[in-house]
Each structure stands twice: as C-alpha cells, then as structure tokens.
Amino acid sequence: MDIKALIAQMTLEEKAGLCSGADFWHTKAIERLGIPASMVSDGPHGLRKQDDKADHLGVNDSIKAVCFPAGCATSASFDKELIGKVGQAIGDSCQHEKLSVVLGPAVNIKRSPLCGRNFEYLSEDPYLAGKMAAAYINGVQSRNVGTSIKHFALNNQEHRRMSSSSDADERTIREIYFPAFETAVKEAQPWTVMCSYNVINGVYANENKWLLNDVLRDEWGFKGYVMSDWGAVSDRVKGIIAGMDLEMPSSNGINDEKIVAAVKEGKLDEKLVDQACERILNIVYRYVENAKPDTPWDMEAQHQLAAQCAAECMVLLKNEEDILPLNKQDTIAFIGEFAKTPRYQGGGSSHINSFKTTSALEAAEGLNICFAEGYSVAADCSTEEQLAEAVKAAKAAKVAVVFAGLPDSYESEGYDRTHMHLPAYMDKLIEAVAEANPNTVVVLYNGSPVEMPWVGKVKGILEGYLGGQAVGIATVNVLFGDVNPSGHLAETFPLKLSDNPSYLYFGGEGNRTEYREGVFVGYRYYDKKEMDVLFPFGHGLSYTTFEYSDLKLSASEIKDTDTVTATVKVTNTGKRAGKAVAQLYVGDVESTAIRPVRELKGFEKVELQPGETKEITFTLDKRSFATWNEQIHDWYVETGDFTVEVGSSSRDLPCKACLKVNSTVELPRHYDMNSIFLDIMSDPKAAAAFKPMIDQIMQAFGGGSNEEKSEAATEAISDEMGMAMMKYMPLRGTLSFGGSKEAALQVEALLKSLND
Ligand code: BGC
C-alpha cells in the first residue's frame, strides 16, 4: 500500500479524525478511500477483547480468553525464551480475534512496593525489564500483530496518575526509568508505544516532544506510532507537535476539530498531521496485509502453556530442612481459601475473563489432601471455627501448606497500596498453623512484596505471584516436585516498607512526586546501604544445588568502545535436574559519580542434569560500565577498574573478576578563578600547566624536599597535610592569601591558554 499517496487523497478533516480512535478500541475507517478500521485490545498477559459496552477498567465483560501469569510472575522466570512463547501464543490469539495490537507489555519500574500496578510490571531493575519486554514483543510480533509497550514514561504510581508530575533528574531517568523502553525499542521494535497519563518534570507525557520525538524516535529509532493512554490527552495540538499520533479512546470529534482549526490558523504544520497519519496507517496496513483470521486459538493447549509458564515463574524463597518437595504418599493439609479459589490476576484493564481456572485443590486430585478453608476473603476474616478447623487439619497432616496472599482489593490499577501487610487474618492463620505443625509451608499469591512477620516460624515459602488461570497446576507440580522451581525474584522483598528507598517521597505532595532517591532504586539502594532485606533481588532456591566457578574475562583491560566476554561454569551439584539463573553484575570500583555497588548486566537460565556443567558466555559493552553523564548528555565510562560478579542472586555472588576500562571520551573541561586544585590536579594537562605554581605554594606551606625543609616546618605540616588542605582551595584563594598582581595576571594567562 502506498500510504503517502493515500494520505494525499485525504481531506484535512479526515486526517485530523484519524488521529483519534473511533471508539474504545478501534482506529477510524475512512470508507471513501477504503481505509479499514483496526482494533486494539488489552493486554498484556492475555486478551481482554470487549465487543460492546466497552470500558477500560475491566468492569464490563470481555470475551473468554486465556489468562497467562502476570508480569510480576513472568519476569521472575528470568526466561526470555519462555516469555517469548507466551508472546507467540498471545499473538496467535490476536490473529484469531482480528486484533492488530495487544496493549502491552507494561514495563514501568517498581520504584516502590506500593504501586497498585506492580503486579503487571516486570521489575525494579531496568536491564531485566528491558530484556524480558523485548523477548515478549518479539514473540507477539512474530505473529504479525503489534504490541504497545506502556506506559511511557515514569508512571510508577497510581496515586493521581492522570495529573501528577514525576520529577526526576536526567541521570535517573536515563539509567533507571528509560532503559526498559529503550532496550525493547532497539531489540524488538514494538509496533506502537503507549505514552503515560502522568506529567514528567512539568510536561505531560503526551505533549512531551523530548520524550516522544527526540529520545524515542531520533535517539532510539522507534518507527511505529505512539498512542495515548486511555483519556491521557490534555492539549491535542501540543500532542501532535510532540509526536503523539493516536489519541485513545475517542475524542468525540472535539480534538479533531481543534487539530483542523490549528492548521487553518497556521498554528500547526499540516505536515505533522500527515506524519501522524502515515505512522498510524503504516501499522494499520501492516496488520491488514498480514491478517490471518483463520489462525486457530487452541485454548486448552494455551492453558497447559500457562501452567508450564507459571511453574517456571514460582520462586522458592525458603526451604529449611528440604521440607519441599512434598511426598505424594503423605497426607498433606491445604489450608486457605486461595487453595480452592486462587487469586491469579490483578484488577483493572488487564483483567482477563478466563475460560477456565485450575486451583491447587483441583490439580491435587488423587493425592492425600485434606482441605480447610481457613479464611474467607469476601468476609475479610477468619472465624474461630475456621481457625480451629485449620489447626485440626494441620495437626493431622505430615505437612501443612497455607495458601495466603493479597485479596483483589489490596492491589489494583487505579490506586496504590498503603502498606505491605497481608490481611491480618492471614498472618494470624499462618502463625496458628505453624504452631500446630512445625512442618508448615506457605504458598503466596500476590502481585507485589509483603512483609512476613512469621518468616522464621515456617519451613518453606513458595512465592507463586499472580500465576494466571492455571496457577493451581503449577503450584501442585512445584510443591510435589514434578517441576523443580527455578524462578528468581525480579524485585527485593524489604523487611519492612519503611526500608524502601522511595518511602519518604512516594506519592508526593499534591501533583508533584520527586524521585529523590535518584538511581538508588531497589537493590541498588539496599546494597549500597548494606541493609538486611527479607529476600534479595535475584534470590530463588531450587530442589537441587548449583555451583558457579571459573569466571574468566576475555581481556583484563579494554577501551569503552570494545566489548569483553565473561564466561562462567555452572554445575548442578545436586541429585535432580534443575534450572539455574546465572546473574552477572558489574560494579565500578572507584568513581567520581555516586554509583550503586553493583548492577545487573547479564542473566541466563540454563537447565542442568545432576552432575552436568555448562559454560555460559556473557558479552559486556560500553553500556555495561557506563553512567549517564549530565555534562555531555550521553553515556560515559570513567576510566578505571570494574568488578564483574556472577552468581545466583544479588547477594550470592561467588565468582568475581576485575578489568580496567579506558574511556575514549574526553569530558569538556573549563577552568576559571573558582576552579579548585583537586579538579586541576586530576586533569593531567591542567596539572602540568599549574605545576610550578603548586610547587611554589607547597614551599610556602613548608613543603618541598625534606632536606630543604626546616625541622619546625616538617613538624607543623607534612606534604600530605598540605596537599589535603590545598585541594579544595579555588585558584582565587591562593591569590588572596599572599598573591600579587603579577601572579594574578600569570594565572589568568594560564587559564586562557588552558581553556583555548
Ligand atoms: C490503562 C492502560 C490500558 C488502557 C486500555 C488504561 O486505563 O492505563 O494500561 O491499556 O486503559 O484499557
């Protein structure tokens, strides 16, 4: 299709009209020109296709579909291939349902455990979120339907989500809040990007030219169209100028008229409207020309895939005395309503109308299970009878498994949590069961971390997250050892909420949220502060054991333009087959920038038979070592030594190697009378120029060679002391302490020649 020729035939009104949706889920058709409508749908972990009575918060019903594990779970798989497979399945479903774009993945960074949508989001770590998002997008798009990575950008809370300004510095945005989007764009080229509701440093995301044009398109090379989040548009004309192509859902013609008027009044270049239409139509036709509505949608097969995926995502947090896996011959108590009615997805726009669900109780049919309800979520309590029944069941069983987690109302799109507790009745139930039976295991179904006051009283904890409609199958498979757990935490579980770095500022004041913790999000903060956490980022146990060894780097010194490879051996030292998640972290040994101790820069999941060893190779490049430098507005590696650590979690890194990276970029420097000696001396050129002057001053301080120094001077002040005192002195200071006119002229001349 010659899109440009098509646009040339469109009236201004038709073009303006194309820049907003026809209704909740469709782009506009222009019948006169044979332009078809195209449909988009939520997303991300299944289809929420609505036919009529559309709404965006999941209140009205959508078609029956398959609910895969939510983002909180899939990211914990650390398995790019697996999330890619889920993407392929969703892509097939889209083709079957004639959907051009699925609205996801949702990749906003988990700045605080409180964000109501953390269950949809992937991680507190931008590298992990980016790689997993790219794999999902490549999976969906391999089926010739598009994705809409969302919510671009800095949409890390639900509180005042449509009005609040997320205020962060440039480096924090570049290092923490952008890379998930950046990696996805560079490695998977999503067909569309959804810009967020919120304001960023005072400018609405949907009107933000820097965001949507300069960074997303010019820097990262995004080729598709940008759509607004539903109802995010504030000033439509500013949006067109900024590169926000499609307003969703519909503007009811109001904003279309504003676009037309702005063009007629000469306030908006019609070319920008053409450009938005071209981007939208490129995608509309990309789908139309590759539509395969006869693609089968085998929901039963996808249910099995959802079960397999959920099992890969589960994180075994604790397994004292190898309480798990359970023995199929033993009598096991399943306690808690969630064993029968699991919570497996979150609320809001991602809510799927599952064609079926399988609970753990159903999946365990045929095993020796006794069940006690323990609590009722609807009644929001545990009655005395329920507690007594639970204790009785626990006492009669070899092992008691309590199913707990967060009820729907605790976390959802649209609002944030206010605390990190489980319902009090669940904590109480766990304590009572653990007292009745020392062999107690807790299974959690929740979308974000919770505090665990009972952590020391139970032997096993399995974090099941929101595992999708087949979560029960996965839970039973993991509990009884048919699947060896291999999920690892994509977020830190702090001991308590107030330990979290964003605690003081999360939610902000009025319409302003300052990201004052800067780059110290999640483990970047806890590690730097050497704080104890409940479970660290990257943590996850297995029924077997792994040993990491022989970390080798391909070079001990590189330039920042080179790459270096790291190889490491992983051995399964236990008795079962299992999957290890090798994680590689890079740290800057010494830096003028204030940096985290270590940052994830590589991960790989590998399956190993007992006794088997595999070698894993990681490639590190400039970005693995760089920080965002606000002086040059670019990535910059400061020359120096770096550590490379590999292991099974951010706090279990047995292998360590070092290398030196040399910068090929010279930072621009400028000196004046206010420049201090420390900065002058750290620049070889400036240090050489000022050396005679520095020597002279040192003499004045009583410095110089020991023979020259008087005994009294040596006693009063050593060279080191002199230097230490001198280093913060500005040039002008030396002149005011006993300088002269000639000396000042001399310094000025030196400065001029240096700056030139
Ligand atoms: C959500 C988006 C969603 C859209 C359409 C919005 O409220 O923020 O994530 O895709 O609605 O349902």
Instruction: Tell the burial category of 432 from Cβ atoms under 10 Å away from its Cβ (0-12, 13-18, 19+).
Output: buried
Query: DSSP E strands: which ranges in 205-310?
Result: 225-228
**How far from chain centre, in Å, is Cα 554?**
29
For residues 696 and 728, the model is more confident at 728
Query: Which structure tokens are listed for 148?
Result: 């809409």
Q: Whose CA is nearest to atom 8 of ligand 1?
A: 229
Cβ 120 under 6 angstroms from ligand 1: no
Beta-bridge partners for 353: 64
Q: Whose CA is nearest to atom 3 of ligand 1?
A: 349
Cβ 72 under 6 angstroms from ligand 1: no
Neighbours of 745 (CB within 10 A): 10
Neighbours of 732 (CB within 10 A): 15
Q: Which amino acid is at 477?
A: N
Q: Using a CB cutoff of 8 Å and minimum separation of 24, what contacts does 9-15 make? A: 9/33, 10/277, 12/260, 12/263, 12/264, 12/270, 12/273, 13/256, 13/260, 15/270, 15/273, 15/274, 15/277
Alpha carbons 600 and 620: distance in angstroms, whole number: 11
58, pLDDT greater than 70: no
pLDDT digits 0-9 by tens, 279-292: 999 999 999 999 99
Query: To test the ligand 1 pocket, which listed residue (40, 47, 103) has its Cβ within 8 A of the most ligand atoms?
Result: 103
Alpha carbons 609 and 576: distance in angstroms, whole number: 7
Residue partners of 208: CB distance under 8 A and separation at least 6 = 195, 200, 242
Query: Among 292, 296, 360, 313, which residue's Cα sits nearest to residue 68?
Result: 313
Task: Indicate which atom in ligand 1 lies nearest the CA of residue 197.
Answer: 8
Alpha carbons 328 and 369: distance in angstroms, whole number: 10
The per-residue pLDDT for 107 is 98
Cβ 230 under 6 angstroms from ligand 1: yes
Residue partners of 254: CB distance under 8 A and separation at least 6 = none
The per-residue pLDDT for 59 is 64
Alpha carbons 396 and 143: distance in angstroms, whole number: 52
Task: Indicate which atom in ligand 1 lies nearest the CA of residue 106.
Answer: 9
Q: How confident is the model at residue 712 (pLDDT cuts 50, 70, 90)?
A: low
Q: Measured between alpha carbons, how far is residue 462 from residues 55, 395, 415, 592 in Å?
A: 35, 21, 27, 41
Instruction: Tell the burial category of 727 from Cβ atoms under 10 Å away from its Cβ (0-12, 13-18, 19+).
Output: middle
Q: Which amino acid is at 523?
A: Y
pLDDT digits 0-9 by tens, 95-106: 999 999 999 999
Q: How confident is the model at residue 727 (pLDDT cuts 50, 70, 90)?
A: confident
Query: Among 40, 19, 113, 86, which residue's Cα sits nearest to residue 499?
Result: 113
Helix (H) / strand (E) element for 166: namely strand 165-167
Residue partners of 98: CB distance under 8 A and separation at least 6 = 39, 291, 293
Record the pTM.
0.96
Ligand 1 centroid – CA 638 distance (Å):
41
Q: Whose CA is nearest to atom 12 of ligand 1?
A: 56
Residue partners of 508: CB distance under 8 A and separation at least 6 = 157, 159, 160, 164, 514
359, pLDDT greater than 70: yes
Catalytic hit among 229, 245, 416, 560 = 229
pLDDT digits 0-9 by tens, 549-580: 999 999 999 999 999 999 999 999 999 999 99
Alpha carbons 280 and 272: distance in angstroms, whole number: 12
Alpha carbons 224 and 415: distance in angstroms, whole number: 30
Q: How confident is the model at residue 726 (pLDDT cuts 50, 70, 90)?
A: confident
Q: How confident is the model at residue 588 (pLDDT cuts 50, 70, 90)?
A: very high
pLDDT digits 0-9 by tens, 248-264: 999 999 999 999 999 99
- In the numeric block, the tokens 């598009």 are attached to 146
Query: Which structure tokens are listed for 102?
Result: 């699925």
How large is the average pLDDT for residues 658-674?
95
Task: Indicate which atom in ligand 1 lies nearest the CA of residue 43.
Answer: 10
User: Which residue segments constitute the domains of the chain, with CATH numbers given?
Assistant: 14-51+67-288 (3.20.20.300), 304-491 (3.40.50.1700), 546-662 (2.60.40.10), 677-755 (no CATH)
pLDDT digits 0-9 by tens, 171-205: 999 999 999 999 999 999 999 999 999 999 999 99
229 catalytic? Reply is yes
pLDDT digits 0-9 by tens, 434-469: 999 999 999 999 999 999 999 999 999 999 999 999
Ligand 1 centroid – CA 409 distance (Å):
18
Ligand 1 centroid – CA 230 distance (Å):
6
The per-residue pLDDT for 701 is 62
Using a pLDDT cut of 70, give the percent of the chain over it.
Answer: 96
The per-residue pLDDT for 710 is 55
Find the helix packing angle between 126-141 and 179-188, rounded to 10°: 30
Alpha carbons 232 and 249: distance in angstroms, whole number: 9
Q: 137 near 188, Cβ under 8 Å?
A: yes
Q: Whose CA is nearest to atom 6 of ligand 1?
A: 230
